[in-house]
Structure formats: structure tokens, C-alpha cells
Amino acid sequence: MNPRQTQQPSTIRLLGPLRLENQEEVITNFRSRRVAALIAYAVVEARPIPRAGLVELLWPDKPEKQGRANLRWALNQASKLLPGCWEIDRQVVGFDPGQNCYVDLHALEAALTQDDTDILAHEVAAVQGDFLAGFYLDNSPEFENWMVMAREAWRRLIENALTRLIDHYAHTRQYSDALRFARQRLAMDPWVEESHRTVMQLLVRLGEMD
């Protein structure tokens, strides 16, 4: 029997603080921040990544031999945390969730392509903040630059999803739901005047209905 088909699904949450969930535990603290960074990078890139590139990304200040040894250890740890989700050989590393991993940002992307507001609302409601909120990696400027750009891209996508939900629920006079997502959008960026105005307008609408 293929072992990839026998694993219980794991959950990877990247929209907010990094969080792994499986049948036995919830993991928010990792033995190494570089294991967490490796998981996040491989999941988002979703392609075969040369081992040498990962060494340069995560251990740029280490000699090549030590960096490769560190990568082997990190891959071993990542494979234990997310069994059945990796394609690894001597040259490249790839993350392949298949049926073994639910990834929140992949699910949100898929929901945005569907004409199903309930599915989109479910995925957006589960967002806990910015991509890899609160995460940093010392002495790895290339990873930090990648993370900043990814964070901004996912923030725009989340804000677009929130705006779509707010508009839908307001148009269908489901003002409580519209207000819930308007407040979520406001919490993401409290300096945007339009977000404040939308919340106030929806509160007025709800008051008129009472």
C-alpha cells in the first residue's frame, strides 16, 4: 500500500502565525526557526527547489558542508512533522500536499476562483493575520526579503476576498455578516479610512433594522 494514502491529513496554517495541526497535536513552537522557514518556503513555492538554493536561503552564513548537513537535519524534521507531503531526492526538495495536507492559503486561493460565497467566507474567517505573522529569521536576508514580498501579496489577496464578502452580504442585506468581515478588514489595516466608514455604515444599517 502506498504510504502517502494511509496518512491522516495534516493542516498547515500560514495566514497568521505558522501553525501545524494533525490528529495528535497542534504545533506552534518549532525546534528550529529554520525548520519552520523551510516548511513555509516549500509550501508557497510549490515547485522542486534545488538543495543548494535552500542552503543559500536559510544558512547563508555557514560553510557549504555545514549548510548541507543542516538542511538534511531540517528536512528530516519537516518530514516527521508533515509525513507524506514531501518529494525529496539528492538534488531537489519539493512539497506535494496531495490528499495528505490541507494548506490554508491554497484553500483560500481556490475559494476565490469559485462562485460559492459560503466556501469563501469559511476560508476567510479562518485567517488569523498576515502571512507568517510575527515570524523572523536572523542572518537570512534573502528569506526575509522573500517573506516581506509574500506577506504583501497575501495581504492584498485577503483584503480583496474581504471586500468581495462585504459587498455580497451588504447587497443581500445580510448586514451582520457584512459587519463581521468589515471588522476583520479593519483589524488588518486600521489606518484605512474607507474601512472605518464601511463599519460605521453597516452599524447604521443594523440599527435601522432593529
Domains of the chain: 1-159 (1.10.10.10)
Nearest CA to 183 out of 153, 203, 154 is that of: 203
Banded pLDDT at 2 (limits 50, 70, 90): very low
d(CA 142, CA 196): 36
Grid cell for residue 166: 462585504
Helix (H) or strand (E) holding 32: none
Report pLDDT for 3. 43
Do the beta carbons of residue 60 and residue 139 sit within 8 Å?
Answer: yes
Helix (H) or strand (E) holding 156: helix 141-171
Length of the chain (residues): 210
> What is the percent of the chain where pLDDT is above 90?
84
Question: Which residue in the block uniquely carries the three cell numbers 496554517?
Answer: 13
Do the beta carbons of residue 167 and residue 130 sit within 8 Å?
Answer: no
d(CA 110, CA 90): 32
Task: Say yes or no to pLDDT of 109 above 60.
Answer: yes
> Taking CA 205 as the corner, what is the angle to CA 200 and CA 208, rounded to the nearest 5 degrees?
125
d(CA 132, CA 168): 28
Cβ-proximal residues to 44 (8 Å cutoff; 6+ apart), any chain: 14, 105, 150
Cβ-proximal residues to 24 (8 Å cutoff; 6+ apart), any chain: none
pLDDT by residue (tens digit) across 147-205? 999 999 999 999 999 999 999 999 999 999 999 999 999 999 899 999 999 999 999 98
Question: Which residue in the block uniquely carries the three cell numbers 447587497?
Answer: 171
